[in-house]
């Protein structure tokens, strides 16, 4: 089942912060975050695993609440380069497929 | 290190025809997953292959099939094309057998248009 992302779209000015949320109705093993810029392939940002392990890029932060089956991606001091569509993907077990949400469109303006 | 290569990049087919898309993963990666991307639908999972075996399958009709070769290259086939199959088809490769806890690298995709 596809995870739910919120908001659907957000517009920020440079330097502002944003939070993108991802939630699932099922218990999760892992949450994955990717960013896709227009006309480009999705690029990996972070993986959050059940139990607290995180793997990702240093400048990106995220949280994973296992009990609530929710994850949030935190974008601080946004830059123009942060613009794109952010996808969260979830998996129920360690051998399950990754199902992605519909995406959150983020636009950073000067 | 070369990235994930998908061919062709663009394809126009007529309704009822069939099509084969190709994906060459990063050298050393053994897992390949396929996704269909359409506006508003995000990335819809098609299937995942690891070491020539299909490990997971999404909720697509049997017209969508795939395979993986011994060199990890993967192909996806869609038979009896419908207008609704028009989409960007992305493949992603990863090192591990479990796609869930490793970083996946996406190709640029194949843009399929069915007329």
Q: Return the residue of B nearest to A33 by Cα.
A: B103
Percent of chain A with pLDDT over 70: 99
Q: What is the rounded CA–CA span in Å between residue B78 and residue B97? A: 25
Query: Contact B43/A97, CB-based, under 8 Å?
Result: no
pLDDT (tens digit per residue) in A36-51: 999 899 999 999 988 7
Q: Rounded to whole angstroms, what are the CA distances from B84 to A1, B17, B41, B60, B111?
A: 21, 13, 12, 12, 13
Taking only Cα atoms into account, the Rg of chain A, rounded to an integer number of angstroms, comes to 13
Angle CA(A26)–CA(B109)–CA(A43) in degrees, nearest 5?
Answer: 55
**If we measure between CA atoms, which residue out of B89, B67, B70 comes closest to residue B9?**
B89
Q: If DSSP codes are grouped into helix, strand and coil, which group holds residue A26?
A: coil
Q: Return the residue of A nearest to B56 by Cα.
A: A97
Residue B45 forms contact with A (CB below 8 Å)? yes
Residue contacts between A and B (CB atoms, under 8 Å): 67
- For chain A, the residues whose C-beta falls within 8 A of a C-beta of chain B are 2, 29-30, 32, 34, 40-44, 47, 49, 55, 87, 89, 91, 93-103
In this prediction, residue B103 carries a pLDDT of: 86
- Phi then psi for residue A4, to 5 deg, are -100, 135
- Across B29-66, b (16+ Cβ under 10 Å) vs e yields bbbbbbbbbeeeebbbbbbbbbeeeebbebebeeebbb
How would you classify the pairing of strands B10-13 and B110-114? Answer: parallel
- Which residues in chain A have their CB less than 8 angstroms from residue B90's CB? 41-42
Query: Contact A94/B100, CB-based, under 8 Å?
Result: yes
Percent of chain A with pLDDT over 90: 73
Query: Contact B42/A49, CB-based, under 8 Å?
Result: no
Residue A94 pLDDT > 90, yes or no?
A: no
In this prediction, residue B99 carries a pLDDT of: 61
Name which of B41, B92, B99 is nearest A102 (Cβ-Cβ): B41
CB atoms within 10 A of CB A70: 18
Chain centroid, CA A68 distance in Å: 16
pLDDT (tens digit per residue) in B5-44: 999 999 999 999 999 999 999 999 999 999 999 987 789 9
Tell me what the pLDDT averaged over chain B comes to: 93
- Which residues in chain A have their CB less than 8 angstroms from residue B108's CB? 40-41
């Amino acid at each position: 089942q596809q995870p739910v992302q919120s908001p659907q779209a957000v517009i920020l000015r440079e330097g502002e912060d944003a939070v993108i949320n991802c939630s699932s109705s099922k218990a999760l093993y892992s949450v994955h975050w990717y960013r896709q810029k227009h006309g480009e392939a999705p690029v990996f940002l972070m993986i959050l695993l059940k139990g607290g392990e995180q793997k990702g890029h240093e400048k990106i932060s995220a949280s994973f609440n296992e009990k609530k089956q929710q994850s949030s991606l935190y974008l601080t001091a946004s830059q123009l380069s942060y613009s794109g569509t952010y996808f969260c993907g979830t998996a129920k077990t360690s051998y399950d497929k990754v199902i992605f949400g519909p995406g959150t469109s983020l636009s950073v303006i000067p | 290190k070369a990235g994930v290569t998908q061919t062709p990049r663009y394809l126009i087919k007529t309704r009822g025809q069939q099509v084969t898309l190709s994906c060459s993963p990063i050298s050393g990666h053994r897992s390949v997953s396929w996704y269909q991307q359409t506006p508003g639908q995000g990335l819809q999972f098609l299937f995942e292959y690891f070491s020539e075996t299909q490990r997971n399958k999404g909720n697509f009709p049997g017209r969508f099939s795939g395979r993986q070769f011994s060199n990890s290259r993967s192909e996806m086939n869609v038979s009896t094309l419908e207008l609704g199959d028009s989409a960007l088809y992305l493949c992603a490769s990863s090192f591990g057998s479990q796609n869930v806890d490793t970083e996946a690298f996406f190709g640029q995709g194949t843009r399929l248009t069915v007329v």
